[in-house]
């Protein structure tokens, strides 16, 4: 398989690429990573894989139709996995337009290029071609504490500009399958966490702020509930769907770990108290600070991933307890990775927490 991954220098994309290139017996002949290297795209995430002869990096935007067409043809691409997206809710509230440009217009142009490439492929490569679009549970809106978890049939009800832009992109992918028979797949995931997570997101922000003696900002009462999915489990699920999923279908991917944000923060503090105690011997939990809630903040997300489990036999390997400990350990041993982002590329911007 020759694979085009878009947004591969971001958090989830880079973990997916690492998993694909490092797994034993990988069927990949070539993996092309197209990334615009906007604020969250970090080439350092994949620096140690740059020498792999199967790996090619291309700097560019999914909205550049000519570039995408050239990459698809030049590398004889058999499948596209689209991670490229603006994904930070707070940023979408401050400035929605970039989210529409990347998540909607960019996805549309990527679909057009993929369709044109696909129609020119000879059989059986044409029949085997796949376009997998990576999306989010936020397209479904919010849940009350007693509502059943989101399924693939849950109506879309996005509540932020980010979620609305992702919902629009999901609809475009569906339309290209139904109108043009482009063999598409869509995955909608719950909140990811793990290595290489950009420092503005909730879990890495709390780890890094704690270690730096800064406040740990918690929105509102901290009782917003999210379903937490370890990023390597997510990457494995995407690969499984790409290989064995039914075209035209959507698959929800969840971690089966519903936790309130405040519990997440307290768990991180307890792990750091044990692994990297404060010089004064006091708990990192003393740094927790409650801040005004985010506008339109969804109260609860929960993913029902029974379809993925039933049809493809997937299950997450990591519990939240094992995954969060691995995550804290990674950040403790990769302080320079985060420091480089904060110092060189993010110094003048306010760090906010995605939850």
Catalytic residues: 137-138, 162
Question: Are β-strands 184-189 and 130-136 bridged in parallel, bridged antiparallel, or unpaired?
Answer: parallel
Q: Measuring CA to CA, which residue among 150, 319, 149 is closest to residue 250?
A: 150
**SS3 sequence, 137-196?**
HHHHCCCCCCCCCECCCCCCCCCCHHHHHHHHHHHHHHHHHHHHCCCEEEEEECEEECCC
**Residue 125: how many other CB atoms lie within 10 Å:** 14
CA 282, CA 278: separation in Å to the nearest integer?
6
CA 151, CA 310: separation in Å to the nearest integer?
13
* Cβ 176 vs Cβ 133: under 8 Å: no
| H or E segment and range at residue 92 | helix 89-94
124 preceded by a cis bond (ω within 30 of 0)? yes
* Phi, psi (degrees; rounded to nearest 5) at 136: -135, 160
Quick one: tokens of 176? Answer: 């290209």
* Cβ 150 vs Cβ 301: under 8 Å: yes
Torsion of CA 81, 82, 88, 91, to 10 degrees: 160
């Amino acid at each position: 398989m020759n694979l085009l991954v878009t947004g591969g220098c971001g958090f989830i994309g880079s973990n997916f690429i690492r998993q694909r290139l490092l797994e034993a017996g990988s069927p990949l002949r070539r993996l092309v990573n197209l990334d615009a290297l906007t604020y969250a795209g970090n080439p350092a995430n994949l620096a140690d894989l740059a020498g792999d002869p199967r790996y090619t990096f291309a700097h560019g935007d999914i909205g550049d139709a000519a570039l995408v067409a050239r990459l698809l043809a030049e590398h004889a691409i058999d499948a596209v996995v689209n991670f490229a997206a603006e994904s930070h809710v707070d940023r979408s509230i401050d400035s929605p337009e970039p989210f529409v440009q990347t998540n909607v217009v960019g996805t549309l142009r990527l679909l057009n290029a993929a369709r044109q490439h696909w129609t020119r492929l000879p059989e059986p490569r044409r029949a085997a071609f796949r376009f997998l679009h990576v999306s989010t549970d936020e397209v479904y809106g919010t849940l009350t504490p007693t509502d059943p978890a989101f399924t693939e049939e849950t109506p879309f009800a996005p509540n932020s500009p980010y979620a609305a832009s992702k919902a629009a992109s999901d609809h475009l992918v569906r339309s290209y399958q139904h109108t043009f028979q482009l063999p598409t797949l869509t995955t909608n995931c719950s909140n990811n966490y793990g290595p290489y997570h950009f420092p503005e997101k909730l879990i890495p922000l709390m780890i890094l702020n704690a270690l730096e003696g800064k406040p740990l900002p918690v929105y509102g009462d901290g009782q917003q509930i999210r379903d937490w999915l370890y990023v390597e489990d997510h990457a494995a699920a995407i690969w499984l769907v790409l290989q064995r999923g039914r075209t035209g279908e959507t698959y929800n991917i969840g971690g089966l770990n519903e936790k309130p944000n405040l519990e997440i923060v307290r768990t991180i503090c307890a792990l750091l108290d044990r692994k990297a105690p404060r010089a004064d011997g006091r708990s990192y939990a003393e740094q927790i600070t409650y801040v005004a809630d985010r506008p339109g903040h969804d109260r609860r997300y929960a993913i029902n991933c029974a379809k993925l489990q039933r049809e493809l036999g997937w299950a997450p390997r990591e519990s939240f307890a094992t995954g969060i400990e691995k995550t804290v350990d990674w950040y403790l041993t990769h302080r320079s990775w985060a420091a480089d982002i904060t110092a060189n590329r993010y110094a003048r911007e306010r760090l906010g927490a995605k939850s």
